[in-house]
Structure 1
Amino acid sequence: MRKVFIVMCGELTLKGENKGFFEETLKRNILQRIGGDVQIEHKHQRFYIACSPDRESRVREALGSTFGIVKYAPALELPKEMEAIKGAALLLAREAVETTGTTVFKIEAKRTDKSFPLTSYDIAKELGALLLEHDPRLSVRMTRPDWSIKVEIRDKAYLFWEEVPGPGGLPVGSSGTGMLLLSGGIDSPVAGYLMAKRGLSLHAAYFHTYPYTSDDARKKVETLAAILSRWTGRVVLHVVPFTEAQIHINRHARKNEITLHMRAAMVRIATILAGRVGASCLITGESLGQVASQTAESMRFTQHTTDLPIFRPLVGMDKQEIIALARRIGTFETSILPYADCCTLFSPEHPLIRPHFEPMREAYKTLEIDPHLREAADKAEHLVFELGQQREKA
């Protein structure tokens, strides 16, 4: 008998001929998080992970934050012999009572190997009677028990009672690479998280306007990138010196158009960087109607400087929904630190809310800002974050 972690993969099991690609990507991501000294096997559309006892907490932490995992179960793997199965059931029942403090249970048995002499019903009946005999505190309830011991008869017997939710989604890297426009606010880290959950590897562009924004503002964004990398495995942060471009816009644009031209310029720089790293899309934290630059008309204008699709996963969410998710993924407390970014510092008092597309596009052309944007992209600093830590400069 040995301890294993059974990993359930959710929608990966619905994939067709390319299912193997998704499974291999997930396996690679799991191993990156756990490190060495584990055995990982794929069978029955699941992963089975065996490790030494001192690695169990590391495995739990990894499986709870790896996209592509719907849930996992710490299980006992043993021979398909009824006496061994009974012994394992007694161990798990004791553990469940001690952990939960509850005593109402159910046995769920599934016999995939039809050569096993007992039916699923017989297995559940025999194990239930055994537990009731050994512990008079226990009672059975078939609907909504406090806990259930699940028995699976496959190539071997597997028993477990605890099932831990994973983050779901698709394995990071299975959907390509995206360039996230990352500010120090609440929204953009959540947008990055949601698109990583759909399988995108993340690069992120941060627009730094020193000395108008402080080094504390930059460190805040670096911290956000590090937190995101706990979920994505890796984030490459491109710190773009945006001061000269910002000054140029302020000097030459109409005051009420500054924010929109600034956003369009950022999209252009992000597109240049995306081309250099092989990213096929941009990601923003825009939510429809939240601020002046996030009306439908404003979004139409600010995206005209790219030929890449812009994914806006928060577009239909309200602020409270976004905040709740930011709290859950661990970015909220950092996002609310009081260090202003360039979008806040240079916002006009009365920004244009519903720009007319053609006149705005012509106004943007008259800025003749593209040389400044290419220079900013060329001077970007590239930082690598892996699993919550800064590793190196790219």
Structure 2
Amino acid sequence: MSPAEFILVHYHEISLKGRNRPRFIRLLADNLLQATADLGVTRAQRLPGRIVLHPGSETSWDAIATRVARVCGVSNFSRVLRSPLDLEAIKTTLAEEVARHPFTSFRVTAKRGFKAFPLTSQELNREVGAFIQARTGARVDLEHPELIAYIEILPREALCYVGKLKGPGGLPVGMSGVVVALLSGGVDSPVAAFRMMKRGCRVIFVHFHSHPFLSRASQDEARALVARLTQYQYRSRLYLVPFGELQRQVVLSVRAPYRVIAYRRFMARIAERIARLQGATALVTGESLGQVASQTLHNLAVIEGAVELPVLRPLIGMDKEEITAQAQAIGTFAVSILPDEDCCQLFTPRDPAVRSTLEELEKAESVLDVDGLVAAALKGAELQEFAFPPGVLGPAAASLPASPTSAPAPVPPGP
């Protein structure tokens, strides 16, 4: 990009955060720098209501646009040209940017943040609009223009740009704390994790597998999903927890209709132990109400009864079509539909209960060494870490809790 070009980022809900706003803006600026750490961006300048990224001369606009479009907390962004606070300079600068785009109708939208500038916003719209119309022959259309040219008047300069690209909105990752997401190889759970990132949470992933009873395919798929989702939070951790032996013990002791619910309760317990180890304050699942037998209201309540931490279900009111559309948008769908051997396929009963009770499950589990089974699964867990961009550590890495010093993952204390 040329020395005169910059990236103007407008943020989303941060503007509502009152006295905490400076900290949140700083976090978003750090995340923007981390997302573009290998692209030559040298600085994230914080201005009132916006952030300006300063790219290097070799930086590609297309590469930056792809990265910034994935930064949670970004409402929209644009490639901008800076101009002196002079009407003729503003006309020339904006006309230069407009010339990059084909259009037959347009509108100029000026925002005079610096009130000492001699022209009002409406006067700027008319003056610059007439200049562009004379140069291009395009007609002015205030209601449905093909192109919108923007001018922002600041105390020392004007920012000129065309159009706005959308970001994901929401809050910067790291703003709302840490959660642990139960990650299967399916479509739903990666979307649930992303939706928590969009609400400002840093997500730690837990995947349950049944190797050596089944192949390692589900572990490979979990790694691929976490690698994809790390593009939204820059540092990730994935716990790979062996679950096959625990399932075998459940099959030996628990009646068939209750086995799936028992599996889910053990998964929740193990995830809660990892959450406490990592300083996380909630669990996240990809459950959608009524989608499968284990996701009825009664069964969800029984599953949640196994743990003390809150269980967040971002997809609870979404249907499969909505979930699939978001999976495609965030880039996880193509990975999720790859064939694998999920642990849920092992020892699955034909007719699981759809209306279990907490008393029934607690009675069924009473013959099991619950704490021992949880501890054994945790002892065999593997911890893997992911970074984006690969091999680049930037300011956003600081918000991830310190990594355990040993692997496999140590057994954390119970609640």
State the Cα distance separating 1:204 from its structure 2 match.
0.7
Provide closer, same or farther for how the CA distance between residues 283 and 391 of structure 1 changes in structure 2, counting only shifts above 3 A: farther
Among all aligned residue pairs of Structure 1 and Structure 2, give the percentage whose two residues are the same amino acid.
35
State the Cα distance separating 1:172 from its structure 2 match.
0.6
The alignment's TM-score, normalised by the length of structure 2, stands at 0.90
Out of 44, 68, 86, the position equivalent to 2:73 is: 68
Determine the structure 2 residue equivalent to 1:262.
263
Out of 26, 46, 51, the position equivalent to 1:42 is: 46
Q: What is the total number of aligned residue pairs between the two structures?
A: 389
Q: Is the 8 A contact 2:8 2:50 kept in 1?
A: yes
Q: Is the 8 A contact 2:33 2:43 kept in 1?
A: no
State the Cα distance separating 1:72 from its structure 2 match.
0.5
Task: Tell me the amino acid that sits aligned with residue 320 of structure 1.
Answer: E
Q: Is the 8 A contact 2:180 2:280 kept in 1?
A: yes
Determine the structure 2 residue equivalent to 1:23.
25
Determine the structure 2 residue equivalent to 1:174.
175
SS at 2:238's partner residue? strand
Q: Is the 8 A contact 1:233 1:387 kept in 2?
A: yes
Determine the structure 2 residue equivalent to 1:82.
87
Determine the structure 2 residue equivalent to 1:141.
141
Structure 2: how far apart are the matches of 1:40 and 1:314? 34
State the Cα distance separating 1:356 from its structure 2 match.
2.1
State the Cα distance separating 1:390 from its structure 2 match.
8.7
340-349 or 200-209: which moved more? 340-349
Structure 2: how far apart are the matches of 1:175 and 1:243? 34
Task: Tell me the amino acid that sits aligned with residue 11 of structure 2.
Answer: C
Structure 2: how far apart are the matches of 1:243 and 1:349? 18
1:4 is aligned to 2:28: no
Provide closer, same or farther for how the CA distance between residues 389 and 207 of structure 1 changes in structure 2, counting only shifts above 3 A: farther
Determine the structure 2 residue equivalent to 1:239.
240
Task: Tell me the amino acid that sits aligned with residue 22 of structure 2.
Answer: G
The alignment's TM-score, normalised by the length of structure 1, stands at 0.95
Moved over 6 A (4+): 390-394
SS at 2:355's partner residue? coil
SS at 1:117's partner residue? coil
Structure 1: how far apart are the matches of 2:186 and 2:41? 39
73-82 or 278-287: which moved more? 73-82
Structure 2: how far apart are the matches of 1:247 and 1:285? 24
SS at 2:31's partner residue? helix
SS at 2:193's partner residue? helix
Q: Is the 8 A contact 1:288 1:296 kept in 2?
A: yes
1:104 is aligned to 2:78: no
Out of 41, 46, 58, the position equivalent to 1:54 is: 58
SS at 2:197's partner residue? helix
Q: Is the 8 A contact 1:272 1:374 kept in 2?
A: no
Provide closer, same or farther for how the CA distance between residues 150 and 390 of structure 1 changes in structure 2, counting only shifts above 3 A: closer
Provide closer, same or farther for how the CA distance between residues 37 and 285 of structure 1 changes in structure 2, counting only shifts above 3 A: closer
State the Cα distance separating 1:108 from its structure 2 match.
1.3
Task: Tell me the amino acid that sits aligned with residue 36 of structure 2.
Answer: I
Extract unaligned runs of 5+ from structure 2: 394-402, 405-415
Q: Is the 8 A contact 1:227 1:388 kept in 2?
A: no
Q: Is the 8 A contact 1:235 1:386 kept in 2?
A: yes
Any residues of structure 2 matched to 1:1-394 within 5 Å, and which? Answer: 2-35=4-37, 37-55=41-59, 56-97=61-102, 102-136=103-137, 138-155=138-155, 156-387=157-388
Provide closer, same or farther for how the CA distance between residues 52 and 25 of structure 1 changes in structure 2, counting only shifts above 3 A: same
Q: Is the 8 A contact 2:33 2:41 kept in 1?
A: no
Over aligned residue pairs, what C-alpha RMSD do you find? 1.8
Structure 2: how far apart are the matches of 1:207 and 1:83? 64
Determine the structure 1 residue equivalent to 2:407.
none
Q: Is the 8 A contact 1:384 1:391 kept in 2?
A: no
Structure 2: how far apart are the matches of 1:80 and 1:111? 11
